[in-house]
Structures are given as C-alpha cells and as structure tokens.
Homo-oligomer: A and B are copies of this chain.
Amino acid sequence: MDTPQAAPEIAVSRWFNSDPLTLAGLRGRPVLLHAFQMLCPGCVAHGTPQAEKAHRMFQQTDLMVIGLHTVFEHHAAMTPAALEAFIHEYRLTMAIGVDEAGSGGGMPVTMTRYGMRGTPSAVLIGRDGTILHHGFGKEDDMALGARIAQALG
C-alpha cells in the first residue's frame, strides 16, 4: 500500500477570480487542482471546461477548484494579460492562479514540485492535505465526479 503523499504548497504569482489562496489555508477542505495552459488544445477542448464544470456543480459543497496556469512553453504568448483575455472569453469563474516562473524560464515552480508531466494535469487533494489522485491527460467526467464525492464524503 502506498504511503499517502502530502500535497506540496502551490506557488502563484498572480490570481484571477479570487483573493490569494494557499493549500495551508485551505486545509480541511478538498481541493481540485487543474493545471493547464491556454494554448494547450486538450486543456481548452476538455480539461479546463471540465474543471469549471466541477467548480459550478459542487458550489454548494466546500470543494475548492483551482485552475493553475502552468506555462512551460511559448512564454511570450501565454502572458498574464493573455490569460486574462482567455478567462474572459471562456467565461471561467473558478479561481485561477499563475504558476510562479521557474528559474531559467523552464518549468514553473508548482509544476516542478508536483512532478507534473504536462497539461492538462489534475490533482485531487484530500481534507488532510494528502494527494488522493494525480492524473495527466483526459479525465473521464463520471470518474472525476465519483472521486470528488469520495473526497467530500
């Protein structure tokens, strides 16, 4: 059996749709972390709308959904100003943080801490701050709904 792994703190340089958040401050609540890039086709077509849907569907619960803009390529194109326009055009209402740039311009800080393989990635964090699920690529809606309900229950 795996030892439960503590979720590393997120490092965010700018927030949209929310005051600044930390996982430490959210301890006691389940958190869905959706790592995306605004120019990642799989994120735009599926992952990001799915996270936004979870945010709206579980609004009456204490689940917190956080979109994390983890830019690891095309840095000049995916600026915070561009992300702001993206959020506006796609009518995203979930909290969205910009993952802090890494040294040397490569992988951003939170992405590195979690060892994410790319975007979209989804991390579900339990009330006790441990990682319940860490997936890369397309997540099935039914499976995600079940996982969130388990984390809430």
B residues near A138, Cβ cutoff 8 Å: none
Q: Does A150 contact B (CB under 8 A)?
A: yes
- Nearest to A38 among chain B residues (CB) is B39
A1 within 8 A of B: no
- Please tell me if the beta carbons of A84 and B77 are within 8 angstroms of each other in the complex: yes
Distance in angstroms from A54 CB to nearest chain B CB is 7
B77 & A86 in contact (Cβ 8 Å cutoff): yes
Smallest CB gap from A90: residue in B: B41
Distance of A79 Cα from B85 Cα, bound (Å) = 12
**Which of A41, A77, A86, A88 lies at the interface centre, i.e. has the most chain B CB atoms within 10 A of its CB?**
A77
Nearest residue, chain B, Cβ from A148: B146
User: How long is the Cα–Cα vector from A57 to B140 in the complex, in angstroms?
Assistant: 10
Q: How far is the CA of A74 from the CA of B80 in the complex (A)?
A: 12
Min Cβ gap A116→B in Å is 18
Compute how far the CA of A144 lies from the CA of B146 in the bound complex, rounded to whole angstroms. Answer: 8
Partner of A77, one of B40, B74, B85, B149: B85
Q: Which of A42-70 contact B (CB under 8 A)?
A: 44-45, 50, 53-54, 57-58
Closest to A89 in B: B39
CB distance from A141 to the nearest CB of B (A): 4
Q: How far is the CB of A118 from chain B (nearest CB, A)?
A: 12
User: Which residues of chain A in 8-49 are interfacial with respect to chain B, using CB atoms and an 8 Å cutoff?
Assistant: 39-41, 44-45
Instruction: Report yes or no: B77 in contact with A82, Cβ–Cβ below 8 A.
Output: yes
Q: Which of A81, A140, A149 is most buried by chain B, counting CB atoms within 10 A of its CB?
A: A149
